[in-house]
Chain A
Amino acid sequence: MKTVISAKQRGLGLNLPELFRYRDLLFLLAYRDYRVRYAQTLLGFAWAFVQPLLTLIVFILVFNKAARVETGDIPYPVFVMTGMWAWSYLSFVLTQAGQSLVTSSHLITKVYFPRLLIPLGKSLVAFIDFSVTFLFLVFLMILYRYVPSGNIITLPFWIIALVALSLAAGIWLSALTIRFRDVQLVIPFLVQMGLYFSPVAYPSSRIPEQYHGLFYLNPMASVIDGFRWALLGTPLPDTGYLVYSFGFILILVISSIYFFKRTERIVADII
C-alpha cells in the first residue's frame, strides 16, 4: 500500500476503495450514536416510539381538528404519518450531520480516517428512527384498514431520493459549520421552517396553482409528494417540478462532496 501526502489537491478525491475499507468504522460510529442516545434514559429505546406518537397527536389536533385540513377519503393520521415518515429522516440528518464535524473535533485532530464517515454515520443512525416511524405507519394503515396504492413498488426509489437529499444537505452543512459556526444556529431554524413549507401536515393540493412555482422550489415538496403517490396514490407534482427536484438533488450531492473534500484538507487546522 502506497500513500502519497502532498500539498497539491487531487481533483474531487472521493476515494471509494478507502471508504469501503473503513466500513466497519462507519457502522461502529453509528452504533455508538445509537447506544449513547438512549444510555441512562428511563424509557430507553421506547423514546423512538414516543416521539412520533406525540407528534402525530399534535398534528391531528392542530391541523385536522383545529385547522380542518381535509384529505379526502384518506384517513388523516395515515396521510400525515406518510409525510412525517419522510420529513423526520431529513430533519434528523440535517440536525445531526450538520453539527457532526464540530462535535467530532476530538477525533479529527488526533487520528486520520475519511472524514466523510462522520456525516455518513449520522445518516445511518437516522435509519433507526426511520424504521420505527415506518412501523407506526404500517400500524396505522392496518388500524384504518387502508390498502396502499399499487405505486408502492416505486417506494425504494423515493427513499433513495430522500436519503440523497438529506445526506447531501447534511454534508454541506457539516462542512459549512466548520468554516462558519453561524450555521449551527441556522440549522434548527431551517428545519422548523422546512416543516411548514413542505407538505407534511397538509396536502400540496391546498397550495393555490399560481404559487406552485415557489412551493416546489423546495425539493422536499416533490419528495414528500412522491412518498404519498407511492403509498396513497395522491397525484404527483408536474413533471417539470419533478425533473427540477431530481436535478437539484444530483447537483447537491456532487457539490457537497466537492465542498466537503476541500474543507477536509484544512479541517484539522481550523476546527
Chain B
Amino acid sequence: MSYAIEVNGISKRFRIGKRRSTTFRDSLVEQVRTLFLGQTAPEVDFWALRDISFSVRQGDVVAIIGKNGAGKTALLKILSRITQPTSGSAVIYGRVASLLEVGTGFHPELTGRENIFLNGAILGMRRSEIKKRFDDIVAFSGIEEFIDTPVKRYSSGMYVRLAFAVAAYLEPEILMVDEVLAVGDAEFQKKCLDKMKTASSREGRTVLFVSHNMEAVQNLCQRAILIQEGRLVADGDVATVVSQYLHSFTHNKYEQAWDPAQAPGNEHIRLLYASVQPVHRRNRTLYTHDDLELTFRFELLRAVPTQLDVTFHLMDERGILVLVASTAFSLNAVHTQTTLQARAVIPGNILNQGTYTVNRLLFVERKSYILFEHNDTLSFDILPQPTGRLGWTPGRKEGILHLPNLSWTLEPC
C-alpha cells in the first residue's frame, strides 16, 4: 500500500514575549532600537511542534490525541496548509479537505442554499460536485423547509446541522478533522461519526482525526498518535496509545477552580469550579468504598430561560467509558442567567480501584443541543480498601466494577 501522508521533522515556532509589531510606529521604533541597542528585549520562542515525523498509509484512520495546547491543531493546520512549518516538510498525496470548524465561511445574510454552495467551495468542492450532491446534503441536514431562509434566522442547532451536512458530503481522498464534534446535538453527532466511519471503511478514505472523545477515537481509528508539549511521544495501536494518554495525567486533578476572567467556556457557559471528594471526609484520598461527590460550578450566561442539563463521561485508565451520568435522567429544571452548581454522588463500592478521568463534561440545552464541552475536567485515583479484612490483599485490578456487597446465598440444595 502506498502512503497518503509523509511528515518529516516538522517544527513550528511561535515568538512570544515580544509583541509582533502591527503598526508602522511599532515597527519603526523596533528598527531604531535594534540599530542603537543591538538585540532588543529577549524574544521567547515557543515551539508548538518539535520534530514531528510520521507517515500514514492510504485508507488509514489515524487519531491525533493529546492535552489542550499540545499542538494537535497546529499540526493539522500545517498539514492542511493554513500555516507553514518553521522547519521540516511533509508530502501529501491526494486531495485534502480539512475541517477545523463547521460552517467556515457561512454568511448569516445568505440562505441555506447559498451557504451550501459557498461553504462547499471553501472546503474545496467544485460547483458541479455540490450541485450533484445538493439534494443529499439537504436531506442529511433535515432542514428542507428552511433551505431558502437566511441562516441568521436558523436556531444554532439547525445551523450546525446544515454545516455538518456539507462537510459530510465532502469526498476528498484525505480528510482532516479537528475537534468539530464538540458542539451540536448528540443524535446528529452520532450520525456524523457513522458517516465518517463509512467514508474510511467502505470508500477507502484516509482520515486524520483530532478529538478528546476517547470513545469516538477508539471506535473510529485503528491507530493513534499522541502529542505532548509539541513532541510525538507515542504512535501505534489505538488502545495502547489511548491508555498511555490517560495515564499521562500524572498530576491528578481532584479540584479545579478558575478565575472568572480565564475560566473555560463560551458565550453560553463559564465553568468556574470542579471537584471530586469523598462525601464524609475532608481529605482527598479516595477509596473504593467511599461515596464520591462530584461538584461542578458554572455560570449560565443565557438571558433566555432554558432547560439545562449537566452530563459527564467517566473513563478509566484504559480508555473504557465507565459511565455517563446526567441530570437529564432525573431533573427537568429551567434556568436563566445565574451561577449554578451541579452535584452528583457516585455511591461507594461500585467503581474499582484505578485512575478515572471526567473526560467530557457537557452542558446540554433542551436535552439535545450541546452548549459547551469541557475535556479532562477532573482526574483521580481510587485506591483499594487499605484493610486486609478480606483475607487476601487485593493486588491487581480485578474487573471494572468493585461490588463486595452482592447479595449472595450459599447453602445446600
**B-contacting residues of A (Cβ < 8 Å)?**
1-7, 22, 24-25, 28-29, 31-32, 35-36, 39-40, 106-113, 179-182, 265-266, 268-270
Contacts and interface: CB of A to CB of B under 8 A. Distances in A.
Given A24-B126, A266-B84, A179 B22 contact: yes
A109 B105 CA distance: 11
Interface stretch (B90-98, B313-321, B348-356): B90-98
Interface residues of B, number: 45
B227 interface: no
B79 A5 contact: yes
B367 interface: no
16 contacts: A1-B94, A3-B91, A4-B89, A4-B90, A4-B92, A6-B85, A6-B88, A25-B122, A39-B109, A110-B100, A111-B104, A112-B81, A112-B96, A182-B25, A269-B14, A270-B20
A95 to B, nearest CB: 20
Contacts of B105: 106-107, 111
Contact of A5 (B14, B78, B95, B107): B78
A2 B22 contact: no
B395 to A, nearest CB: 50
Nearest to A4: B91
A4 B6 CA distance: 10
Given A5-B90, A24-B121, 16 more contacts: A2-B93, A3-B81, A3-B93, A5-B85, A6-B90, A7-B84, A7-B88, A28-B118, A35-B114, A39-B109, A108-B82, A110-B82, A110-B101, A110-B104, A180-B23, A268-B77
B109 A111 contact: no
Contacts of A6: 85, 88-90
Given A1-B95, A113-B122, A106 B104 contact: yes
Interface of B: 14, 20, 22-25, 27, 77-96, 98, 100-101, 104-105, 107, 109-110, 114, 117-118, 121-124, 126-127, 150
Contacts of A24: 121, 126-127
Looking at chain A's contact residues, is the secondary structure mostly helix, strand, loop, or mixed? mixed
The 5 tightest CB contacts between A and B, nearest first, are A112-B81, A25-B121, A6-B89, A39-B109, A24-B127
A40 B104 contact: no
Nearest to B9: A7
Contacts of B104: 106-107, 110-111
A201 to B, nearest CB: 32
Contacts of B91: 2-5
Contacts of A31: 114, 118
A67 B80 CA distance: 59
Contacts of B86: 7
A20 to B, nearest CB: 12
Contacts of B117: 28
Contacts of B78: 5
A107 B98 CA distance: 12
Contact of B87 (A1, A7, A36, A182): A7
A184 to B, nearest CB: 10
B22 A181 contact: yes
A193 B228 CA distance: 55
Contacts of B84: 5, 7, 265-266
A32 B22 CA distance: 29
Nearest to B15: A269
A180 B95 CA distance: 34
Nearest to A176: B24
A36 B285 CA distance: 59
A24 B110 CA distance: 17
B114 A269 contact: no
Contacts of A112: 80-82, 96, 98
Contact of A182 (B24, B81, B83, B122): B24
A111 B100 contact: yes
Contacts of A109: 82
Given A32-B107, A180-B24, A269 B83 contact: yes
Nearest to B79: A5
A202 to B, nearest CB: 33
A5 B81 contact: yes
A175 B117 CA distance: 27
A187 to B, nearest CB: 14
Contacts of A35: 109-110, 114
B111 to A, nearest CB: 9
A3 B176 CA distance: 15
Contacts of A28: 117-118, 121, 127
B122 A107 contact: yes
Given A7-B84, A7-B89, A36 B22 contact: no
Nearest to A177: B22
A111 B123 contact: yes
Contacts of B107: 32, 36
Contacts of B100: 110-111
B205 to A, nearest CB: 14
Contacts of A181: 22-23
Contacts of A25: 121-122
Given A106-B104, A110-B104, A180-B27, A7 B85 contact: yes
A39 B89 CA distance: 45
